[in-house]
Amino acid sequence: MKSKVWLGLLGLALILALPFATDLLLGRSWVRLLDFALLYAMLALGLNIVVGYAGLLDLGYVAFYAVGAYLYAMLASPHLGMHWPLWALLPMGALVAACFGALLGAPTLGLRGDYLAIVTMGFGEIIRIFLRNLNITNGPAGIDLIDPIQMGGFSFGANHSLLGWDFPGIYSYYFLFLILTALIVLISHRLSDSRIGRAWSAIREDEIAAKSSGLNTRQLKLMAFAMGAAFGGVSGVLFAGFQGFISPESFTMGESIMVLCMVVLGGMGHISGVIMGAILLAILPEAFRPLSQFQQATFGHVWLDPANLRMLMFAVALIVVMIIRPEGLWPSPVRRRELLTNDDEKNSSHKAVP
């Protein structure tokens, strides 16, 4: 027990020291990447509620990210001349996105599997096309000069100094995102271990049996859509404030697929797995960037465009992982059971008997 406490404290210390160490060893752009990784972790945890807990394959999830981001961008930028503070916009982003989640979820309640995936994909695109063509969202040009996130008198975008040390905005953002990620982790965990969470699992396992056991599946699915969307909205708000500029191009279907990959790769339904998947996939493409310098150095010419090469390597890595570990890199015990083959099942049933 005591060693567990020490291990926890050590982990916490590592997480707190991470941005400073990264800055020192790899440079400032990597700290920025860390911030993005945390944003993606929040996003992936939101999608995890829908896909991992309730088993609803949603391919348009990025729409809720967009809703949160545009909400912040419109209410905290010169675009409409409004400058609302974060403490108002963050809950508002969650709420508005949750409403969108329920709204877009409602027509899909009778659908399952592939059909659900296609319809949600369509909704995701509809939202993006609206953002592209509406005047209030400034069309394809997007919105820029978005206020950096502010709380009280503290601006997260500005450089500060801490005990004489330089403390740039990306550090402040890191800690803000860290706190909110922790909050989302706590909420996810408590939901999964509750009456509602069990009901979601039941729907994922067998919808007809769930209905016959008295679960109002429509209501429960809407709750899952709304809850997942709320997390998406929160990450969107933070994204807009962090980035300072957003356009419809940030919210393409590719982004939805990427978030889904994070959930599936890490381990559907398992909080730690999903976070790991998010961080890995957010950082991996950057990690492949030096490949172009390597080509330049060895061949004196860049034969393969680094952007394409990165995506190729990325795809290969994903495929390999999915073949070797279909249950994800760090699956929950439940998912692992689901994907076990018959042979494994025999072995583990031996183990399960005390």
Partner 1 sequence: MSEIANSNDLLVARGIGKRFGGLSALNQISLSIPSGAIYGLIGPNGAGKTTLFNVLTGIYQADEGTFELDGKPLTHCRSDQICALGIARTFQNIRLFGNMTAIENVMVGRHVRTRSGILGAILRLPSQRTEEQAMITQAQELLDYVGIGQHANQVARQLPYGDQRRLEIARALATDPKLLALDEPAAGMNDTETATLGKLLQKIKKSGVTILLIEHDVKLVMGLCDRVAVLEYGHLIAEGTPTNVKNDPKVIAAYLGMEVS
Place of tokens 């981001």: 69
Residue among 205, 249, 305, 344 that touches partner 1 (CB under 8 A): 205
Q: Rounded to the nearest whole angstrom, what is the least distance from the CB of residue 328 to partner 1 in the complex?
A: 15
Residue among 82, 115, 190, 290 that touches partner 1 (CB under 8 A): 190
**Measured from the CB atom, is 104 or 202 closer to partner 1?**
202
Residue among 10, 319, 345, 347 that touches partner 1 (CB under 8 A): 345
Does residue 212 touch partner 1 according to CB under 8 A? yes
Q: Rounded to the nearest whole angstrom, what is the least distance from the CB of residue 341 to partner 1 in the complex?
A: 14
Q: Which pair of tokens denotes residue 252? A: 């393409």
Maximum alpha-carbon separation in the chain = 68
Stretch that binds partner 1, among 11-19, 53-61, 109-117, 213-221 (CB under 8 A): 213-221
Does residue 102 touch partner 1 according to CB under 8 A? no
Task: Map the chain to HEC letters.
Answer: CHHHHHHHHHHHHHHHHHHHHHHHHHCHHHHHHHHHHHHHHHHHHHHHHHHHHCCCCCCCCHHHHHHHHHHHHHHEECCCCEECCHHHHHHHHHHHHHHHHHHHHHHHCCCCHHHHHHHHHHHHHHHHHHHHHCCCCCHHHCECCCCCCEECCEECCCCEEECCEEECHHHHHHHHHHHHHHHHHHHHHHHHCCHHHHHHHHHHHCHHHHHHCCCCHHHHHHHHHHHHHHHHHHHHHHHHHHHCCECHHHHCHHHHHHHHHHHHHHCCCCHHHHHHHHHHHHHHHHHCCHHHHHHHHHHCCCCCCHHHHHHHHHHHHHHHHHHHCCCCCCCCHHHHHHCCCHHHHHHHHHHHCC
**Measured from the CB atom, is 270 or 310 closer to partner 1?**
270
Q: Rounded to the nearest whole angstrom, what is the least distance from the CB of residue 213 to partner 1 in the complex?
A: 5
Stretch that binds partner 1, among 21-29, 71-79, 134-142, 216-224 (CB under 8 A): 216-224
Does residue 99 touch partner 1 according to CB under 8 A? no
Binding residues among 159-188 for partner 1 as defined by CB under 8 A:
187
Residue among 196, 284, 311, 312 that touches partner 1 (CB under 8 A): 196
Does residue 209 touch partner 1 according to CB under 8 A? yes
**Measured from the CB atom, is 111 or 253 closer to partner 1?**
111
Residue among 116, 227, 229, 240 that touches partner 1 (CB under 8 A): 227
Residues near partner 1 (CB under 8 A), total: 33
Residue among 140, 338, 344, 347 that touches partner 1 (CB under 8 A): 338
Q: How far apart are CA 202 and CA 249, in angstroms?
A: 37
Does residue 95 touch partner 1 according to CB under 8 A? no
Residue among 39, 62, 176, 199 that touches partner 1 (CB under 8 A): 199
* Interface positions with partner 1 (CB under 8 A): 187, 190-191, 194-199, 201-202, 205-206, 208-217, 223, 227, 334-335, 337-338, 345, 348-349, 352
